[in-house]
Chain A
């Protein structure tokens, strides 16, 4: 037997060790976001909306893309966060932006933990139904608790004081909102990125791929899933809270099946389980819907339906998955030619 190289010299081992290293292209979204801020000051409201969708999609990415929890009710946590911020501010209890967001995260996490404790015992259709029903339950509760939530009309014009006491939230010229959401998104994204590359994140992937085997190797599957669901709920709560702050109102649309389905579509469109799918999906979806749905709302829905069918049948990796396949095909062609030349 010849002297083999040290294990860490193996190609696969090197890839594993360098997995969490920052790749050269990873700053791109942030550079683009800052460039957007300076290049399109008239579209900052749209940009803020886009960033909130990315944040919301990242929260779902953690639960769906990494832990494989198929949920149709993720808007429950978005709405919980939005209503927390909205009700605290509307009833004059508390409205400082950053601490309100933390409150939104805590409330959403509490709901995520409580529902996760019971829901995550089930799988498949039952889980799907339970997440759907939990969201519908919250929506009905928000509709009925008129004195607190404003019922069907929601809470109009909540007042958010300047960020750090310095930067005014101007609804007509949302510079502060954009940078504020971008900052929060960055913090949350770094957190999620660290989490999915940690051993804990790796065990989540293991649970997604083969639950039985993870049980067999002794991983506390249920608690890992509950923890993941809770963290995911907290981030969705932050997304909802920041949506409420940026728009200065809350209504029932933050809680409905519409929003839950949209975030699912965004994530799948970009490609789930790959961290940057949320960015690509949100940009593609929000940009398309913003410009198309205004002029051709019905054609937009038709196109969206066709897109979903095509993705589910032929392109399960979403946009990034298709890019990956094209890249791989090119590399394959290239490396296949090399030995002959």
Chain B
């Protein structure tokens, strides 16, 4: 019985972390699948979003939920401007140019935040309703983790509906599968790109704010977790929302379990698994082979 509770609490903790990973990475997956753009600055958008949320809460006294909305909107707007002005110039370029450009953006964000806000960790205070423990009947668990799981699941359902059931979602799916064909059918790819990019970056901002409680929020955030975001996308398969969802949850739970039982070599194990998986299925666990 004790063992069962142990497993349940590990699953819940891992799922909560996986949900945050999903919320941050889903935009990266769609933009990479849609535009073939290696956007290493995605983590920086999550970080900037976290900062917007933390600073509006502290200086303007905005509540947690409104701050999340503000973070989403601000980062979505900023990233759409960036997309139209800068990213769009590099759509046809090689990966190397894209990698350099986005690493440059990451450096600018890290240095900018260090200069403007400071190098220290920015805590995000949770509202009282989200603190404490929640009685789930069989186990008492942290309310915030449960809320994250619920919110992540709702976002997943919303995204899935938007992707599968709306006209805009159908256009994105068409463009991911065959961009040229979609373009020749009269889909406005430029507009599609800009909106999707902005939305994905906004989601990253949301994830940055929601995850700050256990991932922390300092200027190194953009690089520290980048590998994890990329692994979630690569394992899930480019442009597959459900793929990223499952991949994130697997990584989240695996990381949680490994940290408990192999506190030393857990990360090693995840890297090794990723390498093996990508060798076996270069298109990712849930991606369609081309």
Decide if A and B are genuine partners: yes
Mask for A112-147, Cβ within 8 A of B = 1, else 0?
000000100110111011101110110011001000
Within 8 Å of chain B (Cβ to Cβ): is A34? no
Within 8 Å of chain B (Cβ to Cβ): is A224? no
With contacts A137-B272, A140-B265 taken as known, whether A268 is within 8 angstroms of B100 at the C-beta atoms is yes
A278-323 contacts to B (CB < 8 Å): 298-302, 304-313, 316
B81-120 contacts to A (CB < 8 Å): 86, 89-90, 93-101, 103-112, 114-115
Among A64, A126, A304, the one with the most B-chain Cβ atoms within 10 Å of its Cβ is: A126
Within 8 Å of chain B (Cβ to Cβ): is A264? yes
Q: Which of A130, A144, A300 contacts B264 (CB 8 A)?
A: A144
Q: Which of A64, A129, A144 contacts B265 (CB 8 A)?
A: A144
Q: Which of B89, B97, B268, B278 contacts A137 (CB 8 A)?
A: B268
Chain B, residue nearest A268 (CB): B100
Chain A, residue nearest B107 (CB): A305
Residues of A with C-beta under 8 A to B283 = 126
Contact A70 B95 (CB under 8 A): yes
Chain B, residue nearest A307 (CB): B104
Within 8 Å of chain B (Cβ to Cβ): is A236? no
Contact B107 A301 (CB under 8 A): yes
Q: Which of B99, B112, B114, B278 contacts A130 (CB 8 A)?
A: B278
With contacts A307-B104, A308-B101 taken as known, whether A128 is within 8 angstroms of B278 at the C-beta atoms is no
With contacts A144-B265, A312-B100 taken as known, whether A305 is within 8 angstroms of B108 at the C-beta atoms is yes
Q: Which label, helix, strand, loop or mixed, suits the secondary structure of the B interface? A: helix
Within 8 Å of chain A (Cβ to Cβ): is B54? no
Number of interface residues of B (CB under 8 A): 45
Within 8 Å of chain A (Cβ to Cβ): is B275? yes
Q: What's the Cα separation between A139 and B268 when bound, in Å?
A: 9
Closest beta carbon of chain B to A131's beta carbon, Å: 10
Mask for A171-214, Cβ within 8 A of B = 1, else 0?
00000000000000000000000000000000000000000000
Q: Which of B115, B234, B275 contacts A302 (CB 8 A)?
A: B115
Residues of A with C-beta under 8 A to B274 = 129, 133
Within 8 Å of chain B (Cβ to Cβ): is A257? yes
Within 8 Å of chain A (Cβ to Cβ): is B254? no
Residues of A with C-beta under 8 A to B93 = 312, 316
Chain B, residue nearest A72 (CB): B99
Chain B, residue nearest A141 (CB): B268
With contacts A141-B268, A306-B104, A312-B90 taken as known, whether A128 is within 8 angstroms of B99 at the C-beta atoms is yes
Q: What's the Cα separation between A311 and B97 when bound, in Å?
A: 8
Residues of B with C-beta under 8 A to A122 = 278-279, 282
Q: What's the Cα separation between A141 and B268 when bound, in Å?
A: 7
Q: Which label, helix, strand, loop or mixed, suits the secondary structure of the A interface? A: helix
Residues of A with C-beta under 8 A to B282 = 121-122, 126
Within 8 Å of chain B (Cβ to Cβ): is A16? no
Contact B265 A309 (CB under 8 A): no
Chain A, residue nearest B235 (CB): A129
Contact B111 A140 (CB under 8 A): no
B33-87 contacts to A (CB < 8 Å): 36, 38, 86
Closest beta carbon of chain B to A28's beta carbon, Å: 27
With contacts A70-B94, A125-B238, A302-B107 taken as known, whether A312 is within 8 angstroms of B101 at the C-beta atoms is yes
Within 8 Å of chain B (Cβ to Cβ): is A261? yes
Q: Which of A124, A129, A301, A313 contacts B101 (CB 8 A)?
A: A313
B135-149 contacts to A (CB < 8 Å): none
Within 8 Å of chain A (Cβ to Cβ): is B230? yes
With contacts A305-B107, A313-B90 taken as known, whether A125 is within 8 angstroms of B95 at the C-beta atoms is yes
Residues of B with C-beta under 8 A to A298 = 111, 114-115
Contact B105 A305 (CB under 8 A): yes
Contact B104 A301 (CB under 8 A): no
Q: What's the Cα separation between A133 and B232 when bound, in Å?
A: 13
Mask for A259-280, Cβ within 8 A of B = 1, else 0?
0010011001000100000000
Closest beta carbon of chain A to B247's beta carbon, Å: 13
Contact A132 B227 (CB under 8 A): yes
Chain B, residue nearest A301 (CB): B111
Within 8 Å of chain A (Cβ to Cβ): is B251? no
Residues of B with C-beta under 8 A to A268 = 96, 100
Residues of A with C-beta under 8 A to B19 = none
Contact A309 B278 (CB under 8 A): no
Q: What's the Cα separation between A122 and B234 when bound, in Å?
A: 13
Chain B, residue nearest A65 (CB): B96
Closest beta carbon of chain A to B169's beta carbon, Å: 23
Contact B234 A125 (CB under 8 A): yes
Q: What's the Cα separation between A132 and B238 when bound, in Å?
A: 18
Within 8 Å of chain A (Cβ to Cβ): is B231? yes
Q: Can you list 30 A-B contacts with CB-CB less than 8 angstroms, sorted by A residue number?
A: A64-B96, A118-B279, A125-B234, A126-B278, A126-B282, A128-B95, A129-B234, A129-B278, A130-B278, A132-B230, A133-B231, A136-B227, A137-B271, A137-B275, A140-B265, A140-B267, A140-B268, A265-B100, A265-B103, A300-B111, A301-B111, A301-B114, A305-B104, A306-B108, A308-B103, A309-B101, A309-B105, A311-B104, A312-B98, A313-B101
**Residues of A at under 8 Å CB distance from B?**
64, 70, 72, 118, 121-122, 124-126, 128-130, 132-134, 136-137, 140-141, 144, 257, 261, 264-265, 268, 272, 298-302, 304-313, 316
| Extra 13 A-B pairs, beta carbons < 8 Å, given A129-B278, A130-B278, A144-B264 | A121-B282, A125-B32, A125-B234, A126-B282, A126-B283, A128-B99, A129-B230, A132-B227, A137-B268, A257-B223, A301-B110, A311-B100, A312-B93
